Amino acid sequence: MEALQRLFKLRQSLYENETALGIDDYSDIERAVLEFVVSQEFTTISKILKQPYFAKISLSTINRVVARLLSDGAIKSEQSSKDKREMNLSFCLEN
């Protein structure tokens, strides 16, 4: 019971922070992908898919989410200098 109460407090705090950042209009998965990209210097769709948190999310869903975040200007995509097939994703909004 106590663990569930702590979980709710964490969810409430997360909601308050996401609202303050103005990302509360994104879906849960969109917020999760954005927050993952922000936590990395550079990441790729492959690295997102390899994270256990995203294990049950399909490639097409991740592609859709990344496309929305790119079109909103929340993240940017740059071709990797090491592997031309790879696109590095990074955060690009400044608060």
**Model confidence over 7-33: pLDDT tens digits?**
999 999 999 999 998 999 999 999 999
For residue 71, the SS3 value is helix
Residue 61: is it exposed, middle or buried by C-beta count within 10 angstroms (0-12/13-18/19+)?
middle
What is the spatial distance between Cα 68 and Cα 30, in angstroms, rounded to a whole number? 8
Q: For residue 95, what pLDDT is reported?
A: 45
Residue ranges and CATH numbers for the domains of the chain are 27-91 (1.10.10.10)
What is the spatial distance between Cα 43 and Cα 15, in angstroms, rounded to a whole number? 25
Tell me the pTM.
Answer: 0.87
